[in-house]
Structure 1
Amino acid sequence: MSNRKFSPASWNVGTRISAVTFLLAGAIIAALIATITVLTSGMLERRAIDSVRNELHGVTSTVELFNKTVSSQAVSFGRIFRAGLPGDFALDEATTVDIGGRQVPTLSVAGHALNLDFSAPDAFTERTGGNATIFAAAGEDFVRVTTSVKKENGERAVGTALDKASPAYPALRAGRTYVGLTTLFGKQFITQYEPVRDAAGKVVGALYVGVDITADVAALKERIRAVKVGDTGYFFVLSAAPKTYGDLIVHPNKEGENILDSQSADGHAFIKEMLEKKEGTISYDWQNPGELRAREKFAAYAEMKDWNWVIAGGTYRDEITAAATELRNRFIVFGLAALAVLATVLYFLVRATVTRPLAEVQAVATRIADGDLTASATARRDDEIGRLVGAINEIGARLSGVVGQVRDGAEHIATASQEISTGNLDLCSRTEEQAASLATTASSMDQLTTTVRQNADNAR
């Protein structure tokens, strides 16, 4: 019984109308909320990505501008250093000098031997504040024969060969000048490596000048660290240089670590992808220690080619769409409140305009069905329900007329039956009288017959 009570088939019309309207309004509001949430999330995400790209462009532009400025300075320093060494260079491979335990051919300029002569580099350093080195070609190597560059222990860095992994090495071997970032003994320099040739045009050595930018790079790193994306997002810098490939040059808390093999929660090697593609955007799932589930992150990245840097910035996607989520939650609250108001208004409206009038019609119809043909309802409206009330009243009136006609016919039939009954009684009475007369006549005939028979007998 209770199951039927809660079955939609047992609901009255008002309840059904209210339920259908409520569900339809709820579906419309839910669809609107979902649409607004999706559109808002997409808009916020696009804005966030554009914002990160703009920040990224600002960071890379700053680094590039700084690099361009100090590179120009390094080129100027190179001209100054070369101007301090007038004349033609020559390399005497037959005459060697022991430098740091290595026999190095003698490099000279205008006939003046440069091996272990520190006057030119020191004069340059005193004049410009930069440092300088002269390399002599020794087989496949370029060996430092004089320099103002000093190691961490204060000794001059002479007798060592230029690292073949340095981007300057292939440039010098090809007879080209190289300008770029170099790290020497824990310090960063913008350097120029310029090949020097003898009178025959053969590369016999190289001149190096460097501008110490360690403090400037530290300031740039601090500026990059200060850039925030969302609530917890940040910028970081990866090294794309062969020897430090995958090292974190800038990071809030992992600087110096190599994260080349880092993988997302689903096993995607996103760091390798960034270093290979150099520029673009990437999304990946990341789960921090102590977190119960992975969260989606996105990053935009670009290459700073001259420094072998890949600069990236990103954050969690849910931080970008947090405003949309908050807006969605507000819409849900407002939607539920609106539905509650709608349900209340709809309940009383349907009850007053549908349920009660139909209940009155039902009561009248029930009374008529029970035989009370005097039952009727007042039609206050001219809509379907008002016309239904009029029809029920008409049914009652016509049934009452039919019953009256039947009653009148029954009365006529009863009167006729009474008259027939009276006529029958009169006929019976007359028949009985005639029968009695016939009986008397018959008796008289019998007596007459007897008398005649007696008279006949007497006559014989």
Structure 2
Amino acid sequence: MLRHSLRVRLLLPVLALVLLATVAVTVVLATVEAGRVRRDATIAMDRETSALQSLLAVTRTVMLDRVHDGMRLLQSQAAALGAPHPGGPLALPGRSQPVNDLLLGNTPQGDRFALVDSVTSIMDGTATIFSRSGDEFVRIATNVRREDGSRAIGTVLDPQGPVIERIRRNESYYGVVDILGNPYVTGYEPIVPTDGGRAIGIWYVGYKTDLKALDRVIGNSRLLDSGFVALFDARGTLRFHSRTGATTRPADIDRIVKERPGDWVIRSQAVPGWGFTLVAAYPASDVNGAIVRQSAWIVAIGLLVCALLLGLQSALIWVRVLKPVQHLTDVAEELSRGRWSHTIAEVDLHDEIGTLARAITRLANSVRLAMDRLGKR
């Protein structure tokens, strides 16, 4: 029967050892590969966020240099008109109550745009003169535009923003500010009367951030199969997000970032100087799927190697053991029937089979001699 076959009895231990070794190596390689996949996912996340942080930092630095230049130009042109001091009541569109005008020398600035437009005609960007009215600072001259294209005169400085507290302390502010729903790299300087005291207005110069390059970079970003990179502004509004991969709908990205489901790996970073939040995220299933795919390849390769080793071992056992044993078995069978004229090539082997072959050869010679003696009587 097959289970009593010498080949089976020899191959079974070999098969067991090869399978055990293959399983052990496969488990080790799969564990190592799983760690590599997780590290690669973390490295990819770090690489994407670091590149975007660098891009934002460079953009802010370059634009702040322009803001400082624009502020110096605005203040020098204003100084040429005269010292600042409060003016009389000024009615502005969209406001039920008048605000204080602001004079430079004898020149009122309320609802007049020559100064702010002359600055931006040279330096581009936007410029504004704010006048203090109670606790508010109102735009009385500006070329910042509303969505309908009109000048945003009569609008107030954000009372909850980062600027107003600094101005109330007669301190300047330079940084990124949300103006009418858009991020600007800005500079604000308090307008203080020559005799001192609290600020009566604000000089403002700013540049609307041109984030097309950032939009392009983030849009092309991708983490694994379903991950994403997203940028939220200071109000928590999604500004830019990945447009590749399985997760591209803004509603889905917003929900994942806010709900932070447990099956997602989410990393949030503040963007220094911008007030933005940079988010990189991917589902754990992406990593698990990659691990399963890599492990499947390892198992398949392991089984192939196991089959090749088993086939090689089987061939070696056949050539080096079973075939000589089979031949010696046939010779012994022939000897038992009185046929001893066989050539036994295995006598040249220097192992146990060679020893057995030489013993059978001696036995055949002895039987032949005995039969020859009996034949002569």
Same fold per superposition (TM over 0.5): yes
SS at match of 2:273: helix
- Is 2:58 aligned against 1:65? yes
SS at match of 1:26: helix
Report what 2:263 is aligned to: 285
2:204 to 205, 208, 213: 208
Name the CA distance, whole Å, in 1 between partners of 2:44 and 2:254: 27
SS at match of 1:307: coil
1:76 to 64, 69, 79: 69
Superposition map of 1:26-425 within 5 A: 26-86=19-79, 87-91=82-86, 95-99=88-92, 100-185=95-180, 187-198=182-193, 199-213=195-209, 216-230=210-224, 233-239=227-233, 241=234, 243=235, 245=236, 247-252=238-243, 253-255=248-250, 257=251, 261-262=255-256, 269-270=259-260, 285=263, 298=265, 302-315=269-282, 316-318=286-288, 321=291, 324-325=294-295, 327-342=297-312, 344-345=314-315, 348=318, 351-352=322-323
Report what 1:432 is aligned to: none
The range that moved more, 74-83 or 195-204, is: 195-204
Say if 1:20 and 1:248 are closer, same or farther in 2 by CA, change over 3 A: farther
SS at match of 1:84: helix
Q: Determine if contact 1:14/1:354 at 8 Å carries over to the other structure.
A: no
Give the gaps of 5 or more residues in structure 1: 272-283, 287-297, 368-377, 392-460
CA RMSD of the aligned region, Å?
A: 4.0
Deviation per residue, 1:326-378 (Å, 9 max, x gap): 641552353243244145336635545789989999x9xxx9xxxxxxxxxx9
Name the CA distance, whole Å, in 2 between partners of 1:149 and 1:114: 15
Q: Determine if contact 1:89/1:109 at 8 Å carries over to the other structure.
A: yes
Name the CA distance, whole Å, in 2 between partners of 1:207 and 1:186: 20
Say if 1:258 and 1:46 are closer, same or farther in 2 by CA, change over 3 A: closer
Q: Determine if contact 2:231/2:276 at 8 Å carries over to the other structure.
A: yes
Deviation per residue, 1:58-117 (Å, 9 max, x gap): 22211210111011111211111111111443336xx42222322212323335432223
Q: Determine if contact 1:146/1:158 at 8 Å carries over to the other structure.
A: yes
Name the CA distance, whole Å, in 2 between partners of 1:258 and 1:192: 36
Say if 1:72 and 1:254 are closer, same or farther in 2 by CA, change over 3 A: farther
SS at match of 1:117: coil
Deviation per residue, 1:410-449 (Å, 9 max, x gap): xxxxxxxxxxxxxxxxxxxxxxxxxxxxxxxxxxxxxxxx
Name the CA distance, whole Å, in 2 between partners of 1:357 and 1:171: 104
Q: CA deviation at 1:222?
A: 1.5
Deviation per residue, 1:230-267 (Å, 9 max, x gap): 4555432233x1x3x26353242334x4855537xxxx
Say if 1:146 and 1:258 are closer, same or farther in 2 by CA, change over 3 A: farther
Higher relative contact order (CA 8 A, sep 6+): 2
Name the CA distance, whole Å, in 2 between partners of 1:222 and 1:171: 35
Q: Which letter does structure 1 place at the counterpart of 2:269?
A: A
Q: CA deviation at 1:314?
A: 5.0
Q: Determine if contact 2:26/2:299 at 8 Å carries over to the other structure.
A: no
Q: Which letter does structure 2 place at the counterpart of 1:72?
A: D
Q: CA deviation at 1:225?
A: 1.0
Name the CA distance, whole Å, in 1 between partners of 2:329 and 2:166: 98
Q: Which letter does structure 1 place at the counterpart of 2:260?
A: F
Name the CA distance, whole Å, in 2 between partners of 1:200 and 1:133: 22
The range that moved more, 43-52 or 216-225, is: 43-52
Q: Determine if contact 2:175/2:186 at 8 Å carries over to the other structure.
A: yes
Q: Determine if contact 1:101/1:159 at 8 Å carries over to the other structure.
A: no
SS at match of 2:91: strand
Report what 1:427 is aligned to: none
SS at match of 2:118: helix
Q: CA deviation at 1:169?
A: 2.4
Name the CA distance, whole Å, in 2 between partners of 1:74 and 1:36: 56
Say if 1:207 and 1:359 are closer, same or farther in 2 by CA, change over 3 A: farther
Q: CA deviation at 1:324?
A: 3.5
Q: Determine if contact 1:53/1:300 at 8 Å carries over to the other structure.
A: no
Question: Could you tell me the percent identity over the aligned residues?
Answer: 21
Q: CA deviation at 1:132?
A: 1.1
**Count of paired positions:** 339
Give the gaps of 5 or more residues in structure 2: 337-343, 360-377
Q: CA deviation at 1:191?
A: 1.6
Report what 2:362 is aligned to: none
SS at match of 1:262: helix
Larger Rg: 1
Q: Determine if contact 1:49/1:300 at 8 Å carries over to the other structure.
A: no
Report what 1:446 is aligned to: none
Q: Determine if contact 2:11/2:314 at 8 Å carries over to the other structure.
A: no
- Is 2:2 aligned against 1:24? no
Q: CA deviation at 1:189?
A: 2.5
Q: Determine if contact 2:221/2:242 at 8 Å carries over to the other structure.
A: no
Say if 1:360 and 1:16 are closer, same or farther in 2 by CA, change over 3 A: farther
Say if 1:312 and 1:220 are closer, same or farther in 2 by CA, change over 3 A: same
Name the CA distance, whole Å, in 1 between partners of 2:239 and 2:208: 21
Q: Determine if contact 1:248/1:259 at 8 Å carries over to the other structure.
A: no
SS at match of 2:186: strand
